[in-house]
């Protein structure tokens, strides 16, 4: 049975000033699966990711054409509540960007600005998300210590927990493990596997083997274009397009 489409783009193009960074991208991302974007550096994977939660709006001089629908709704509609949109979509960045506050305060930041002040409810959220991020046991005794005192891998998992605290339906990850050691990376990949039962996950990764391990569908980007988009097993064993095959087999990078 095919999963519902969660995110859809049709002929999406994006310009930084005069420079076109995304060229006519049409893609349907299924719900509650892991979709990976692969491709060489600077080919638009992260840019496309940030279209989904309109983070590109924060950079000046960006124009967009084409359709972007989430759950069937046009998220670039004129009077759309962008702030609210971002509450429904979680984002994990390449480098951990925890606030210089305690672990507890980092997690409760988002619920707090949503008006949740009840201590009991907040405590529950903290425990739930830290367990989801598979880091609860490691930090449960130091919730009120600085979040920056954790190791790199722990910080990144904390970022994931923080993003989950508002219970988004979609989680976007921009090369979440690229700065981490193999052990931490493995933990995060395990995490992704768990999370997809409840969340739609889109992950940008540099690391092809990671995409192969972790995702259900894979999209190959090259120079701002979507070259091929199919199930992961097909992309990695029998790609339809030669360019994809060349990239997978390492003929260019």
Per-residue DSSP letter, 167: -
Minimum distance between the CB of residue 53 and another protein, rounded to whole angstroms? 7
d(C-alpha 35, C-alpha 38), whole Å: 10
On the 0-12 / 13-18 / 19+ scale of CB atoms within 10 A, 28 is: middle
CB atoms within 10 A of CB 75: 20
Write phi, then psi, for 196 (nearest 5 degrees): -65, -15
By beta-carbon proximity to another protein, the closer residue of 148 and 241 is 148
By beta-carbon proximity to another protein, the closer residue of 184 and 232 is 184
Minimum distance between the CB of residue 7 and another protein, rounded to whole angstroms? 10
By beta-carbon proximity to another protein, the closer residue of 151 and 233 is 151
Per-residue DSSP letter, 21: E
Check: CB of residue 211 under 8 Å from CB of residue 205: yes
Minimum distance between the CB of residue 250 and another protein, rounded to whole angstroms? 32
Binding interface with another protein (CB under 8 A): 53, 55, 58, 60, 70-71, 73, 75, 79-88, 90-91, 93, 95, 97-101, 109-110, 112-114, 148, 159, 162-163, 165-166, 169-170
Minimum distance between the CB of residue 40 and another protein, rounded to whole angstroms? 24
If we measure between CA atoms, which residue out of 168, 159, 220, 145 comes closest to residue 188? 159
By beta-carbon proximity to another protein, the closer residue of 67 and 234 is 67
Minimum distance between the CB of residue 38 and another protein, rounded to whole angstroms? 22
């Amino acid at each position: 049975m095919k999963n519902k489409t969660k995110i859809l783009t049709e002929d999406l193009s994006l310009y930084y000033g005069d420079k076109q960074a995304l060229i006519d991208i049409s893609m349907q991302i299924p719900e509650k699966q892991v979709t990976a974007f692969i491709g060489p550096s600077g080919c638009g994977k992260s840019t496309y990711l940030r279209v989904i939660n309109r983070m590109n709006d924060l950079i000046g001089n960006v124009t967009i054409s084409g359709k972007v629908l989430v759950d069937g709704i046009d998220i670039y509609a004129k009077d759309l509540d962008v702030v609210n949109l971002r509450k429904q979509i979680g984002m994990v960045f390449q480098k951990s960007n925890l606030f210089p506050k305690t672990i507890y305060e980092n997690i409760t930041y988002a619920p707090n600005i949503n008006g949740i002040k009840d201590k009991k409810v907040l405590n529950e959220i903290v425990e739930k998300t830290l367990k989801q991020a598979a880091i609860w046991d490691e930090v449960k005794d130091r919730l009120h210590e600085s979040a920056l005192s954790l190791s790199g891998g722990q910080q990144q998992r904390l970022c994931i927990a923080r993003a989950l605290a508002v219970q988004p339906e979609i989680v976007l990850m921009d090369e979440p493990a690229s700065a981490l050691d193999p052990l931490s990376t493995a933990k995060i990949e395990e995490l992704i596997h768990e999370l997809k039962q409840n969340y739609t996950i889109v992950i940008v990764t540099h690391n092809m083997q990671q995409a192969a391990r972790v995702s259900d569908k894979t999209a190959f980007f090259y120079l701002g274009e979507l070259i091929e988009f199919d199930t992961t097993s097909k992309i990695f064993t029998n790609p339809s397009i030669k360019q994809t095959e060349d990239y997978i087999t390492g003929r260019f990078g």
